[in-house]
Structure 1
C-alpha cells in the first residue's frame, strides 16, 4: 500500500520505541508521512514492540513525524492498534501523560490532511494521541474505547464477569461510533476477519484512504486545521 517507505527512528530526546513505526513513503503517487502502532505477531516480536503499547519516546517520535509532515506539507496517515499507552513505571517517570497530551496538541495544530484508521484495537488516550485526524475510519471488527470492557466492569461492578454489559454500555463497535460521529467511515472486512484475506482488505483500505485524501486535499491549510479542531470540540456534545 505504501511504496518507497523510509523509516525514521528515535525521538531525539531519549531513544527509540518500536511500538510506534513511522517514516516517509508514497501512497498512490503522493508523498506522505505514515505512522502506526505495531503489536507484533509472536512472542519475540511482541516483546520487541512492547505489545503495541507506546512509551513517551514513542509518542515524542510521533510528534516529530507530525511536525515533519507539517513542515513539508505532506499528508499524514496513521494506523491505530493499541490496548493503550504503556503503564510501566519507567513510562510514567519519563512523562507519559505529557507526551500523549502534547501529541494531541501537535496533531490539532497541523495544517495538512490527517487521516487515521483503527485496524484492530483503539484503546484510550494511547490511541487518541495519533488518531486526532480530519477523518477517522475503522475496520468493521475493530473496537475503539476509553477503556476495555474488562477494565470497565472491574471498576463499575467490581467484577470482570460483567464485561459483556460493559461492552454494550461503552459502544465501542464501529457501527455505534459511526452513529455517534466519533468516526467517519467503516471499512468492511472479509468473512471471518481481515486476516482471512489480506489482499482484499489492503485493497479496501487503499480505496478508502485514497478517496479521503483526495477530498481533503481540496481544502486550504488553515481550513484543514479548523475542521479538525471543530471535529474534536463537538464530539460528545448534545443539543438540548
Structure 2
C-alpha cells in the first residue's frame, strides 16, 4: 500500500524560529546546570586578560599549551578519570572506549570516541573516520550516550588520504553523529582544527578544556588565504579568537571545563562534566517533548513511514551509507528523535550566516593591520642572532674543516719567497692563498645556505654587514625591529 501525501511537518516549519532562541540552559548559567565548568564571571576575567595581550603573549597563553609534545592524550585522560573501562579500541590515532560512570548511584555505560595525539598528532585518515562512524552507530544501537574528545591539528590531507575518499569519510561521520538518537557530548581537549575536529563537534553539547583551541580552519591555513592582508598566522589566531573563552563569548561552545591534562586534583571536574552534561541533555529532551507536542506528530509520521515504506524511500535506504534501523527493537523512541532534533537546533544556532552585501569587500568590518613581513624579518634576525652568539663548530664538518686548515696554512706562507722550481711544484703563495680563500668562502656559503634555507638571504646579508664593519654592527637588532621597545626596556631594567 502506497503512502498518502501528508501536510508539511510542523516541527520543521518551526525549526528556524526555534533555532534562533534555542538554549540548552534557558535563563540559566551553564555552571548552574553542569558541574565542573567555569562560571561566566571567571570567563570574563580571562577574556579581559586575553584582550590586553599582544599577539605573542596571546599565542603563548592559548595556542602553545595545546601544542606541547608532553601534553596528555585522550587515552591518558580517559584512564585518569578512574572509572571502569569495559572495552578499549586503539587504531593509530583513533581511540574509543566504553566506560562505566556513576549517575547518582546508578551505573551507566558511556561510549567515548577520541583522537589520540600520541600517534600522528591525532590526525585522522579515512579509515579512522569510518571507524568513528561505525563506533557511533554501534553505541547508538545499544542506547549508549556518546562523548567525543577532539585533539587534532586537522584531517589527513595527503594524496593517499584523498585518494581513499577522505572528504566523503568526513561527511559520513558528520552525518552519523548528527543522526544518532542518543545524547552526544563533545569536549575539546587540545587542538580542534579544521575537518579533523568538525565531525566530533556535531554534538548536543560542546565544551572545551581551559587550554583547548577550536576553529574551522587552522590559523596557518587561514594566514595563507589572507596573505594579501600581510597577516601572520599568529595574528589570524588572535583576530578570529581560538581560545575557549572567546569561543564561549561568541556562542560557539556551551561551556569551559575547569580542567587541563595533568591536573590530577581537578579530574573530578571532568568526570562531573560528563555525568551532569549528559543528564542535562536528557532533561532538555524530556522538557522539549513535554512542551512541544508537534514532536509527537513528527514521531507518528516516522512510525508510519517505517511501517509502510514507500518504494522511493526503500531505494533511498538501500543506497544509504548511514546505519538505518531495520528492526523494531533498534528503532528509536520519541526521546531519541528529540535528541536528534535538539542537536540540529544547537548546531543551527552556532552557524552564522550573512548576506552577499555584507560579505563583500565594502562590508563594515575592520581588517587588522598585519605585520607578517616584519614578524618574519624579526624571527629570521632573531634566529641569526642566536646562531651568531653560538655558531657552528667546523670541527665537526670534515669538508669545512679541511678547507679552513688549508686556508690557515696558505695564509701563514703568503709572504714567502719561492723560486721557479718551488713554484712549479707548490704554486705561487699569493695565488694559493687567494684560491684557498675562495674555496673556503664558497664552501662556507653553501653550508650556511643549506643550514638557513629560507632565511639564508637575510642571514647572509646580516653576516656580510657584520664582517664589513664588526664594531658598529655588534648589535644586530635595532629599535624598529622590536615589536615592543618599552616592554623590552622594562624587562632589562
Class of the TM-score when normalised by the shorter of the 2 chains:
0.7 to 0.9
String of CA shifts for 1:98-156, please: whole Å, max 9, x gaps: 00001000111111000010001101121011221100110111110122222222321
Q: How large is the RMSD of aligned CA atoms in angstroms?
A: 2.1
What's 1:209 paired with? 274
| Separation (CA, whole Å) in 1 of partners of 2:229 and 2:96 | 38
SS in 2 for 1:130: helix
| Separation (CA, whole Å) in 2 of partners of 1:82 and 1:200 | 25
What's 1:234 paired with? 349
* Matched ranges for 1:1-240 at <5 A: 1=81, 2-8=83-89, 17-28=91-102, 29-40=107-118, 49-157=119-227, 162-189=232-259, 194-195=260-261, 197-218=262-283, 219=285, 220-237=335-352
SS in 1 for 2:124: coil
- Give the C-alpha shift of residue 239 in structure 1: 9.3
Go from structure 1 to structure 2 and tell me whether the alpha carbon gap of 1:201 and 1:125 turns closer, same or farther (over 3 Å shift): farther
What's 1:44 paired with? none
Larger Rg: 2
| Separation (CA, whole Å) in 2 of partners of 1:100 and 1:185 | 25
Go from structure 1 to structure 2 and tell me whether the alpha carbon gap of 1:201 and 1:59 turns closer, same or farther (over 3 Å shift): farther
| Separation (CA, whole Å) in 1 of partners of 2:86 and 2:139 | 14
| Separation (CA, whole Å) in 1 of partners of 2:223 and 2:349 | 28
String of CA shifts for 1:42-72, please: whole Å, max 9, x gaps: xxxxxxx222100111010000111011101
| Separation (CA, whole Å) in 1 of partners of 2:87 and 2:348 | 34
Given that residues 23 and 65 in structure 1 are in contact (C-alpha distance below 8 angstroms), is that contact kept between their aligned partners in structure 2? no
String of CA shifts for 1:202-238, please: whole Å, max 9, x gaps: 2211111111111123332111100101111222336
Given that residues 134 and 228 in structure 1 are in contact (C-alpha distance below 8 angstroms), is that contact kept between their aligned partners in structure 2? yes
What's 1:45 paired with? none
| Separation (CA, whole Å) in 2 of partners of 1:179 and 1:223 | 27
Given that residues 150 and 187 in structure 2 are in contact (C-alpha distance below 8 angstroms), is that contact kept between their aligned partners in structure 1? yes
- Give the C-alpha shift of residue 157 in structure 1: 2.1
| Separation (CA, whole Å) in 2 of partners of 1:139 and 1:128 | 16
- Give the C-alpha shift of residue 160 in structure 1: 8.6
| Separation (CA, whole Å) in 2 of partners of 1:128 and 1:155 | 19
| Separation (CA, whole Å) in 2 of partners of 1:80 and 1:5 | 21
| Separation (CA, whole Å) in 2 of partners of 1:160 and 1:38 | 34
Of stretches 172-181 and 53-62 in structure 1, the one that deviates more from structure 2 is 172-181
| Separation (CA, whole Å) in 2 of partners of 1:165 and 1:119 | 23
| Separation (CA, whole Å) in 2 of partners of 1:103 and 1:224 | 17
Task: For structure 1, list consecutive stretches of 5 or more residues without a partner in the other structure.
Answer: 10-16, 41-48
Go from structure 1 to structure 2 and tell me whether the alpha carbon gap of 1:4 and 1:236 turns closer, same or farther (over 3 Å shift): closer
Structure 1's consecutive aligned runs of 4 or more residues displaced over 4 angstroms after TM superposition are 158-161
String of CA shifts for 1:67-112, please: whole Å, max 9, x gaps: 0111011100111100011112111111100000010001111110
Given that residues 62 and 130 in structure 1 are in contact (C-alpha distance below 8 angstroms), is that contact kept between their aligned partners in structure 2? no
| Separation (CA, whole Å) in 1 of partners of 2:230 and 2:153 | 17
| Separation (CA, whole Å) in 2 of partners of 1:217 and 1:57 | 31
| Separation (CA, whole Å) in 1 of partners of 2:169 and 2:209 | 27
SS in 1 for 2:274: helix
Instruction: Give the number of the structure whose residues are more often helix, by fraction.
Output: 2
- Give the C-alpha shift of residue 158 in structure 1: 5.6
What's 2:368 paired with? none
Given that residues 151 and 160 in structure 1 are in contact (C-alpha distance below 8 angstroms), is that contact kept between their aligned partners in structure 2? no
With normalisation by structure 2, the TM-score equals 0.42
SS in 2 for 1:217: helix
Given that residues 154 and 160 in structure 1 are in contact (C-alpha distance below 8 angstroms), is that contact kept between their aligned partners in structure 2? no
